[in-house]
Amino acid sequence: MSLSSMSMLMPSVGIWEYFDFARVLMIKTANLVDSVIDGLQNFQSHNPDFVATTTSPHFIAIALSLISCLILAPVPEAATIEVLFSYGILNFVYLGVLLMLQLDVSIIIEYWLLPNLTYLATCVALTLIRRLFISPLRRFPGPASASVSNYWMAKELGAGTFSKTIRDLHRLHDAPVIRTGPNEVSVNDAAAIVKIYSGKYQRGSFYEAGKLRGQASIRETRSNYHHTIWRRIWDKAFTPGELKHYAAQTENATSKLVNSLKKKGGEEVDCTKVMDEFALDLASQLTYGEDAGLQDGTSDKTYLESIRKYLSWLGFYATLRNLSQMLSYTRDPEVLTTYCSNSESLLINRQRHHPDSHDITSHLLLEDEESRRKFQVPLQLAANTNFSLLMGTSVGITLSQTFRTLSLKKNIQNKLFQELDSHIKKGGDLSTESIKNLPYLSAVINESLRLHNPFTTGVHAAIGENGLDMGTYRLPPHTQVYVPTLTLMTDEKYFEKAEEYIPERWTENEEMVKDKRAYIPFGYGLHACAGKQLAINELKLVVARVVAGFEVNGEDNEMEWKDYGMVQLGEWKGRFRSRK
Ligand code: HEM
């Protein structure tokens, strides 16, 4: 049967319509293969030995893998789906041609299956050789497994050990740059911050996986165009007028917290749980106009657990960019839907029951005055309100760690209490406005944000077209990079007695901060925290009211913590005994 008559037999409706392109390609390729075979036979009769080697299917597969690797190597972030699709369609066409030629199964195995395996094995080998021996990043120290695959980093992030491991590696090698992935480095250098995160820098590929149900929040978007518009919308939610409004709600919520601690009468409480629930309820109140019902037990008890699971899952997949790209074409995994469903029901509730509520969502619903654009409802809006809630919970992490530290460092707790006490005696009250300039309280919060920061891993960016030249080291264009916050903010180069909690470094002992550039608790540049002032107000208010009202004591055990992009704390039992 001729090729053209075979093609006539193929149905031209239904599923075959999708393969029309492939069908035409197959016919053309088959004709071409026919004529190439003719030509080769002719050539072979004149050069039998040479032809035997170079026309071997394995030789061709190796040559093709070399070409593919040469083409793909300079592409900064090759799109996995496109690469796989091209490979799949070419293979499909090739297999189709072999089938059309009605070849034996053994020939198909010899000419299709085995060369494919050779092709893939060669690609893997070439990639490993490039990553280990040719990449300009090979000069930087780091675990060997990290230079060949992102799996090393994914494993660390998924297990919550990432930022501690990175800190240990920087210390072990005493190096500002550590290679933590085939194309990824950690840069512990205060001087590099301004260069990496200046202007409209490109966000790292790490954020791609953070898209919830296909939509990114302001932090995850890698489009500077969208970010500029979205940031204007977000900033409207944090004007001084709005902050006053949130302050009143934060004061109410804190009074409730103080009352519930009073009721415990100095008994042991799981401080981590108390602060996590408080922070999530407050974040929900400020985002959706009603609390999440965690403290009064009316909400889903698994809410906090679903956040923890989601962050661990995200940490793992965000690092495996290829895998996360493929996952975006499959059904949302349960860990994601469970995480989203809690805050989505809060959003739906808000829209249904208090659409006029004056909260962060009310701003996110408005359009940007300059571009006349707004968040698309519901998914884009949900991704952003969800993010607001997540950021709100981060305050609880800093609070728990601060109370533990104050319980261990009685001199600091007493000094803070005395400042608050004399403030009250002078006629001051414990409102957000009244305590905002208390120097020792501010110093305590600064020190907590340095040592007890909820975001210890660092912000991921991609180096631009010109690379980054820091004099003593150079990063090539398109390197994925991050400044590891924990390592940086606990580095003796930048802070004297860096591991110690010493609020006085922010007051009378300023020389203990050797380089202020290394203090970036809220990030740096374009994407720096939009809710910074709100977070500081919340932290100051809760710490002031709790320390003014209670003597904080607790277990002297190591507090376990993991970081999945955002820190998650283990249990810490504290006692809050009323001062009187
Ligand atoms: C202790 C508390 C907090 C800390 C340490 C903190 C820190 C940070 C950091 C490090 C970033 C990332 C910067 C980057 O990716 O370049 C960030 C982003 C952000 N934070 Fe906070 N944050 C806190 C609380 C809050 C709160 C309560 C809100 C209020 C909703 C908030 C809103 C945001 C927003 C909207 C962004 C994204 C900014 C952007 O991409 O343009 N944060 N924050």
Among 235, 529, 569, residue to substitute to test ligand 1 (most atoms within 8 Å of Cβ): 529
pLDDT tens for 120-177 read 999 999 999 999 999 999 999 999 999 999 999 999 999 999 999 999 999 999 999 9
Query: Which of ligand 1's atoms lies nearest the C-alpha of 360?
Result: 30
Strand order in the sheet with 550-554: 268-270, 573-578, 550-554
Q: Is the pLDDT of residue 15 over 60?
A: no
- Collapsing DSSP to helix, strand or coil, 461 comes out as strand
> Closest by alpha carbon to 245, among 379, 87, 400, 358?
358
Model confidence at 9, in pLDDT bands (50, 70, 90)?
very low
pLDDT the model gives residue 40? 67
Cis check for the bond before 176: say yes or no (omega within 30 of 0): no
Give yes or no for residue 394 CB within 6 A of ligand 1: yes
Which residue's CA is the closest to the ligand 1 atom numbered 30? 388
DSSP conformation class of 219:
T
CA proximity to 362, closest of 388, 390, 343, 337: 388
> Which of the residue ranges 73-77, 277-281, 387-391, 535-539 would you say has the lowest mean pLDDT?
73-77
> Are residues 249 and 283 in contact, defined by beta-carbon separation less than 8 angstroms?
no
CA-nearest of 518, 1, 462, 526 to 228 is 526
> CB-based contacts of 41: which residues, under 8 Å, 6+ apart?
none
Q: Output the six-digit token pair for 136.
A: 């300009």
Task: Name the β-bridge partners of 202.
Answer: 462
Residue nearest to atom 31 of ligand 1 (CA): 531
**Average pLDDT, stretch 487-514?**
98
Strand partners, 552: 576
Which residue lies with its CA nearest to atom 4 of ligand 1? 522
Cross-strand pairs, 495: 513
387 CA distance to ligand 1 middle (Å): 9
Distance CA 37, CA 40 (A): 5
| 3 state SS for 170-217 | HHHHCCCEEEEECCEEEECCHHHHHHHCCCCCEECHHHHHHCECCECC
**Is the per-residue pLDDT at 561 higher than 70?**
yes
pLDDT of residue 11: 44
- Alpha carbons 192 and 365: distance in angstroms, whole number: 37
Angstrom distances, CA of residue 202 to CA of 206, 212, 220, 278, 371: 11, 20, 11, 35, 22
Ligand 1 atom showing the smallest separation from residue 449 Cα: 5
Q: Which residues pair with 186 in a beta bridge?
A: 178, 482
Q: Using the CB atoms, write b or e for 450-474: b if 16+ within 10 Å.
A: bbbbbbbbbbbbbbbeeebeeeebe
CA of 537 to the centre of ligand 1 (A): 14
Q: Please state, for a pLDDT cut of 70, what percent of the chain lies above it.
A: 95
Atom of ligand 1 nearest to the CA of 287: 30
Half-sphere exposure of 253 (CA within 13 A, CB side): 32
- Residue 503, pLDDT above cutoff 70: yes
Please choose, from the candidates 565, 216, 213, the residue with its C-alpha nearest in 3D space to the C-alpha of residue 387. 216
Q: How many CB atoms lie within 10 A of CB 107?
A: 11
pLDDT confidence of residue 345: 87
Task: Measure the CA–CA gap between 292 and 390, rounded to whole angstroms.
Answer: 12
Ligand 1 neighbourhood includes 455 CB (under 6 angstroms): yes
Helix (H) or strand (E) holding 460: strand 460-462
Where is average pLDDT lowest: 98-102, 246-250, 567-571?
98-102
More confident residue, 553 or 558: 553
Q: pTM value?
A: 0.88
The larger pLDDT score, comparing residue 13 to residue 387, is at: 387
Identify the residue whose C-alpha is closest to ligand 1 atom 42. 531
Report whether 359 contacts 286 (CB < 8 A).
Answer: yes
pLDDT over 70 at 222, yes or no: yes
Quickly count: other Cβ atoms within 10 Å of residue 532's Cβ. Answer: 14
Q: Is the pLDDT of residue 58 over 50?
A: yes
| Longest Cα–Cα distance in the chain | 106
Cα separation, 151 vs 145, in Å, equals 8
Can you tell me the mean pLDDT for 483-502?
98
For residues 69-73, give the mean pLDDT.
Answer: 88
The ipTM (two decimal places) reads: 0.99
210 lines ligand 1 (CB under 6 A): no
**pLDDT grade, residue 5 (50/70/90)?**
very low
Show the DSSP H helices in 2-46 as ranges.
3-9, 15-18, 20-46
The per-residue pLDDT for 134 is 93
What residue numbers does the annotated binding site for heme cover? 529
With tokens 């675990």, the residue in question is 143
Say if ligand 1 is within 6 A of residue 96 CB: no
Q: Which residue from 307, 310, 76, 82 is spatially nearest to 205, judged by alpha carbons? A: 76
Residue nearest to atom 39 of ligand 1 (CA): 527
pLDDT digits (tens, 9 = 90+) for 281-314: 999 999 999 998 888 888 777 888 888 898 888 8
SS3 content of the chain, % helix, strand, coil (to 5): 60, 10, 30
Mean pLDDT for all residues in the chain: 90
Residue 86 scores a pLDDT above 60: yes
Q: Is the pLDDT of residue 521 over 80?
A: yes
Q: Where are the alpha helices (DSSP H) in 376-527?
A: 379-408, 410-425, 432-435, 439-451, 485-489
Does the Cβ of 398 fall within 6 Å of ligand 1?
A: yes
The confidence band for 52, taking pLDDT boundaries of 50, 70 and 90, is low
CA–CA distance, 317 with 73 (Å, rounded to integer): 23
pLDDT of residue 8: 43
Q: What is the pLDDT of residues 424-460, one digit of tens each?
A: 999 999 999 999 999 999 999 999 999 999 999 999 9
The preferred substitution site among 391, 400, 520 for testing ligand 1, maximizing ligand atoms within 8 Å of CB, is: 391
- Residue 195 phi/psi, 5-degree rounding, is -80, -40
- In the reported structure, the alpha carbon of residue 286 is separated from the centroid of ligand 1 by a whole-number distance in angstroms of 15
Here the tokens at position 239 are 């004007």
Q: What's the average model confidence in pLDDT over 356-382?
A: 91
Percent of the chain with pLDDT over 90: 66
Average pLDDT rounded to a whole number, residues 41-58: 72
**Residue 520 CA, closest ligand 1 atom number:** 10
Low-confidence winner among 12-26, 77-91, 345-359 (lowest mean pLDDT): 12-26
pLDDT at 379: 85
Q: What is the 3-state secondary structure (H, E, C) of 226-272?
A: HHHHHHHHHHHCCCHHHHHHHHHHHHHHHHHHHHHHHHCCCCEEEHH
Beta-bridge partners for 567: 563
Residue range 256-262: mean pLDDT, rounded: 95
In degrees rounded to 5, what are phi and psi of residue 552? -95, 120
Residue 401: CB within 6 Å of ligand 1? no
Nearest to 284 by CA among 226, 343, 213: 343
CA dist 152 and 146 (Å) reads: 5
Closest atom of ligand 1 to 535 CA is: 27
pLDDT tens, residue by residue, 456-481: 999 999 999 999 999 999 999 999 99
Question: Per-residue pLDDT tens for 92-106?
Answer: 988 988 888 888 888
